[in-house]
Amino acid sequence: NRQFRLKTRPTGRIETSNFDFVEQPIPEPGPGEALIRVLYLSLDPTNRIWMSDMDQYMPPVEIGAVMRGGGIGVVVKSNSARYKEGDHVSGLTGWQDYCIADEGMNAMGVLPKGLPVGLPTMLGACGMTGLTAYFGLLELGRPEPGNTVLVSAAAGAVGSIVGQIAKIKGCRAVGIAGGPDKCRHIVEDLGFDAAVDYKRKDWREQLAAATPDGIDVNFENVGGEIMEAVMARMNLFSRMPLCGMISGYNTGDPAMRADFSPILMRRIEVQGFIVVDFMAKFAEGATQLATWVAEGKLKHRETIVDGLENAPVAVNKLFDGGNIGKLVVKVAEA
Ligand code: NDP
């Protein structure tokens, strides 16, 4: 059982040297437990948060512990009525080949049989990232038909779904993304109304041109300068679900240095959230996302990197912009 154990906390980019890559015996499941072979790992910006000891919504990963991460696996041995051999399960598998699921604190969700989408999509559009987009936008952003919805990191896992749900709800969807390929992708493939390429010098002018009626909902993924420029274009009584601030995760800067006067002057409703806040409604959200995918209304893409051993390098794609859609690592053949 190969495992990445956190050795040191990164300062800046995540380095392979922040981990010990160790080999351990495959664990034996005890009573009420099951042994899970990890198939796919979800790489998420929050992995970087968990590696640090900044103030956060879960305890940081302890030095020496297996790196925390979401994933999907298959039950290979079970002493629990909850898990049957061959079931696919989703949960916090960690960065390793095998893990133990139990019926308590380390329980995992059993995926339904005969899924119409592949397992990586169950980590993306039909999994946690899709749910993040769904609840953040609909519950906190409360978009109304005709509203302008802006999303940053728009070609990524969460952002690409936010813009498409905004379109389903009859809104104008505007995305901010890095580079011409991503901007083309969100408009031509995903149906956004406009894209702003923040890597071009004139991005502020592009933002103004793309939002002639201002912004009613800002789904904030990035923070910092981009957030500040967007806030300056937000309308009276607009909403800003604060989902992430990825521009600050590697720098240790909170990415919150911004002019907050629009919040007062235009009475913007800003609400931070973590997807698990909506856990009680996950089944409803997942059903709706899967229905939209089946109907062809919600497109999804995954960037798949092969091999557990590549996780610490691959995770940096999230910070360099090397992914389109959901970033996953394939650990073993399904
Ligand atoms: P993505 O798939 O969107 O990948 C991250 C993307 O962010 C990159 O591809 C890159 O795209 C962009 N990016 C990285 N650094 C910067 C920067 N300095 N300035 C502008 N853009 C940048 O990841 P996710 O969809 O998983 O996550 C998106 C956001 O949502 C993150 O902030 C994350 O923390 C948050 N999140 C929050 C959750 C919650 O429960 N609150 C749950 C899941 C995610 P580009 O090429 O365009 O630069």
pLDDT tens for 176-189 read 999 999 999 999 99
Can you tell me which atom of ligand 1 is nearest the CA of 276? Answer: 40
Q: Whose CA is nearest to atom 35 of ligand 1?
A: 244
8 A C-beta contact, residue 204 and residue 173: no
Q: Whose CA is nearest to atom 1 of ligand 1?
A: 156
| Cβ contacts of 51 within 8 Å, gap of 6 or more | 6, 9, 10, 14, 18, 60, 61, 67
- Strands 326-330 and 302-306 come out as parallel
Residue 65 has pLDDT above 90, yes or no: yes
221 CA to centre of ligand 1 in angstroms: 6
8 A C-beta contact, residue 178 and residue 159: no
Instruction: Give the pLDDT score at 334.
Output: 87
Instruction: Give the pLDDT score at 38.
Output: 98
Instruction: Give the pLDDT score at 197.
Output: 98
What value does the mean pLDDT take over residues 289-317? Answer: 97
245 CA to centre of ligand 1 in angstroms: 8
Instruction: Give the pLDDT score at 147.
Output: 98
pLDDT in tens, 262-296: 999 999 999 999 999 999 999 999 999 999 999 99
Q: Whose CA is nearest to atom 17 of ligand 1?
A: 247
Residue 257 has pLDDT above 90, yes or no: no
pTM of the model: 0.97
What value does the mean pLDDT take over residues 302-318? Answer: 98
Residue 8 has pLDDT above 90, yes or no: yes
Q: What residues does 121 pair with on adjacent strands?
A: none
- Give whole-number Cα distances, 331 to 159, 179, 306, 328, in Å: 25, 30, 7, 9
In the structure, what pLDDT confidence band is assigned to residue 252 with cuts at 50, 70 and 90? confident
| Cβ contacts of 29 within 8 Å, gap of 6 or more | 35, 77, 78, 79, 80, 100
Does the interface ipTM go beyond 0.95?
yes
Residue 254 has pLDDT above 90, yes or no: no
Instruction: Give the pLDDT score at 256.
Output: 73
Instruction: Give the pLDDT score at 210.
Output: 98
Whole-number mean pLDDT of the chain? 97
In the structure, what pLDDT confidence band is assigned to residue 146 with cuts at 50, 70 and 90? very high
Q: Is the dihedral of CA 238, 241, 246, 249 positive or negative?
A: positive
Residue 110 has pLDDT above 80, yes or no: yes
Instruction: Give the pLDDT score at 212.
Output: 98
What value does the mean pLDDT take over residues 204-222? Answer: 98
Domains annotated on the chain, with CATH = 2-124+300-330 (3.90.180.10), 128-276 (3.40.50.720)
Q: Whose CA is nearest to atom 15 of ligand 1?
A: 319
What phi, psi does 323 have (nearest 5°)?
A: -110, 150
147 CA to centre of ligand 1 in angstroms: 23
Separation between Cα atoms, residue 296 and residue 56, nearest integer Å: 37
Instruction: Give the pLDDT score at 253.
Output: 78
Q: Whose CA is nearest to atom 2 of ligand 1?
A: 156
Separation between Cα atoms, residue 88 and residue 143, nearest integer Å: 35
User: Ligand 1: residues whose CB is within 6 Å?
Assistant: 44-46, 129, 132, 153, 155-159, 177-178, 182, 221-222, 226, 243-247, 273-275, 318-319, 321, 323, 327
What value does the mean pLDDT take over residues 88-115? Answer: 96
- Looking at the chain, the number of H-run helices and the number of E-run strands are 11, 15
